[in-house]
Amino acid sequence: MRPAIINVMDKAARRAGRDLARDFGEVEQLQVSRKGAADFVTAADRKAEATVHYELTKARAEFGFLGEEGGIRSEGDGVHRWIVDPLDGTTNFLHGLPQFAVSIALEERGQIVAGIVYNPLTDELFWAERGTGAYLNDTRLRVSARQHMSESLIATGMPFMGHGDDIRYLKTLRGVIGEVAGIRRYGSAALDLAYLAAGRFDGFWEFDLNIWDIAAGILIVREAGGFVSDIAGGDSMLITGEVVAGNDRIQEKLRKCLREADPGPTDKSAAS
């Protein structure tokens, strides 16, 4: 039986996801006009966030709300806060690639206590509540059991025009690329983390992420038995935007590999 708070998040995500799935079917019709398609996607993104905001505040009016599209909509009670990315994988959506998700996390006193990642096209709902495990729909999730980097499939995200430090990223890519069985770049950090929790990937790293990209996914990975840290081994992923995740064997190996490739500006003592 799902916790009540997950049901609230599930309903909001499915409502938004239903509209996104419908809009996704129309994106291809708009490809002739790049600007038109971009505007259309932006409108779909905002509409999805409005739907999520409506559903969540209807159920928990006292909670604060931080959305990717609308920024801080409400401060709330100062204890609870929804952290929402209504469309993680916007570029995929814009280009007609079926790899995007709705991500909703609930933060309580600075800790993420519940999270869901919902792919409306596959109808996969990854969810977790702190202390109760991670699930894909109603199936318990567990990270993979691979122990060696040489047999691991690693997901990542890379900088793009005007976003992120490409030089730093390429250093880390060079450090990892020769050590693993494969690297995948799907364009949705929320789904990357959810797939890691489901054992589809063995590791994941990315820099310059935003809190709404990863808040839910980090909890889902941890509840599925995985480990998540920043590149220095600290716990400031939500603030720094650095994420290194993996199963219990691969995460530390991957983090060390990244650290060797790029000693980086972050040191563990500064991380929380």
Position 267: which residue type? D
240 contributes a contact to another protein by CB under 8 A: yes
Distance CA 76, CA 69 (A): 18
Position 232: which residue type? A
- Applying CB under 8 A, among 21, 236, 252, 256 the residue interacting with another protein is 236
What is the pattern of x (binds another protein, CB under 8 A) and - over residues 165-184?
A: --------------------
- Give the interface segment with another protein, choosing from 20-28, 143-151, 156-164, 193-201 (CB under 8 A): 156-164
- Applying CB under 8 A, among 36, 98, 263, 265 the residue interacting with another protein is 265
Choose among 11, 30, 24, 9: nearest CA to 121.
24
> What tokens does 216 get?
């839910």
- Applying CB under 8 A, among 1, 71, 139, 178 the residue interacting with another protein is 71
DSSP summary character for residue 140: E
Beta pairing partners, 117: 103, 126
What is the pattern of x (binds another protein, CB under 8 A) and - over residues 91-110?
A: -------------------x
Give all strands of the β-sheet with 227-229 in edge-to-edge order: 182-184, 153-156, 203-206, 243-246, 227-229
- Applying CB under 8 A, among 23, 68, 129, 242 the residue interacting with another protein is 68
Would you say 159 or 199 has its CB closer to another protein?
159
